[in-house]
Structure 1
Amino acid sequence: MDRGVSPTRWQRNLHPSPFRERLTQIHEGIDTAFASPGSPEAVTLSDGRSLSADQEIVTYVARDLEPYRGFHIMMRAAVPLLRSRPATQLVIAGGDGCSYGPPPDGGGNWRERLLAELGADLPLDRVHFLGSVPHADFINLMRLSRAHLYLTYPFVLSWSMLEAMSCGVVLVASDTRPVTEVVEHGVNGLLVPFHDPAAVASGLVAALDMPMAQRLRLGNAARRTVVERYDLETIGLPGWLEMLHQEFGLPRPR
C-alpha cells in the first residue's frame, strides 16, 4: 500500500504501525450548506396524522434498524422515555435489512423482534416507523427534532450523525469510539452509555428538558464542530486534493 485514507483517528489507529504511518486521516466531508438549520415542514404519517415543530419529537435514524447502530438499545430506552414523557413522539427512520450485522436468530428482522419483545410496554400510537427516507426528508426530520439519538458500537461513524449536528439539533449519542472524537459531553451534545437503556432514556429526557438558551448553545456548537472540522468544500475535498498532489503529483486545482 502506497497510501491509504481513514476518515477517523480511531479507524486509523486500529491498523498496525507500518500501515498506520501510510494512512492519512481525511473525512469524506459533509455538505454543511445542505445539512443546515432551517424551518421544518410537517411530516405526514401513514395514518394521516401530522407531526410538526410545536410537538416534542425525538428522532432515531439508521441505514437499517439493527444492533450495530444500537436499534435494540433505542427500542428498550423508548419504554421509560415515553412513559415519563406522555407528549413525546418517537420518529424512527431506517430500513428493515441488515447493513452490517446478522439478522436475528429464527428469521424476521430486528424491528419485528424488538416489537415482540417489548409488547404492550411500548405505546405504538407514539412510535412511528418511516422506513428508509430520502436525504432531503432526513434533513427535514433533523430540523423538526427536539432531540436526536445516535447509537453505535465502535464502528464506522455515520455521516447521519455529523449531518444531524450540522443541522443544529440537540444530539444524544453513545459514549463510544469514534463518536467521542467528535462529541464532547455538555459542549456540543450529550453522551450516554451504549449498553444502558435507562441511561439513554435519561439522556433524552435531559435534552428535552433543556432551557432554550442551552439548546441553542449545544446546537450551535454542534454545527460549528462540523463546519470547522468536516465541511466538504473547505476541509474534506481540499484534504483529498492535497493528499493526491503530495503523494502522486496530481496538479492542484486552480
Structure 2
Amino acid sequence: RVHVLGPRTLREYRELLRSSTAYVYLAAPHALTTGLLEGMACGTLVIGSDTPPVREIIRDGVNGFLCSFWDAEGMARTIADALENAPSLGQVRVGAQQTILREFDAEMQTRRLMSLILHSMEQKKNEESADT
C-alpha cells in the first residue's frame, strides 16, 4: 500500500514512519528536508534518490538504499527488492538510526557549530594580528 497523507502532527508522523515497511524519499537535486532524517531516526527502511544531498547521508546498502531519480523502472526494482527483503534488512535500519545519532544528534551539532565559531574567531584574530 502507498499512503499519501496530508499534514500530521510530528508524533503521528513518527508513528507512521515506525510502522512503515519502507519510506521512499525522492529529492530533486539540491533539495533536502528533515523528512529523510526523521525516517532514518525512526529506523524506517529508507530508499532515497541518488542525488547529491541524499547521497551525503545514505550509504547504499549500509543505512538505506539509493536509486536513480530519473530511472522509474530502476527505482521500482530497488523498492520492490527492499520490500521483498525487508524482514532481513534489520541491520540497514539500525545503520540508519546510528547515522542520525552519530551525525545529527543535537549535542553533536552544537559541538560542531561551536568548533566552527571558535575556528572562525581564531582565523579573524590571526588576520588582525597579521595586519598590525
CA distance in 1, matches of 2:17, 2:91: 16
In 2, the alpha carbon distance for the partners of 1:202 and 1:189 equals 15
Paired amino acid for 2:120 = E
> Runs in 1 of length 4+ with deviation above 4 angstroms?
none
Q: Name which of 91, 96, 114 aligns with 1:241.
A: 114
Q: Which runs of 5+ in 1 are unaligned?
A: 1-88, 93-129, 250-254
The Cα shift of 1:211 comes to 5.1
**Residue of 17, 25, 45 corresponding to 1:170:** 45
1:152 and 2:27 correspond: yes
Q: Distance in 1 between matches of 2:28 and 2:6?
A: 22
State the Cα distance separating 1:177 from its structure 2 match: 0.6
How does 1:74-223 map onto structure 2 within 5 Å? Answer: 89-92=1-4, 130-210=5-85, 212=87, 214-223=88-97
Gap runs ≥5 in structure 2: 123-132
More strand by share: 1
Amino acid across the alignment from 1:90: V
- What is the distance in 1 between the residues matched to 2:3 and 2:85? 20
Q: Do residues 232 (structure 1) and 88 (structure 2) align?
A: no
Q: Counting helix residues as a fraction of each chain, which structure ranks higher? A: 2
Residue type of the alignment partner of 1:238: R
Shift of 1:156: 3.1
| Aligned mates of 1:91, 1:238 — CA distance in 2 | 38
Q: Secondary structure at the match of 1:182?
A: coil
In structure 1, distance between residues paired with 2:99 and 2:68:
22
Give the Cα–Cα distance (whole angstroms) in 2 for the partners of residues 198 and 206 of structure 1: 12
Paired residue type of 1:218: V
TM-score scaled by structure 2?
0.83
Query: How high is the TM-score relative to the length of structure 1?
Result: 0.45
CA offset digits 1:151-208 (Å, max 9, x no partner): 1111132111011111111111111111111111111111111012222222111111
Per-residue deviation, 1:131? 0.9
Structure 1 residue 243: Cα displacement: 2.4
Cα contact 2:45–2:86 (8 A) shared by 1: no
Percent sequence identity is: 29
Tell me: higher relative CO, structure 1 or 2? Use CA pairs within 8 A at least 6 residues apart: 1
Equivalences, count: 122
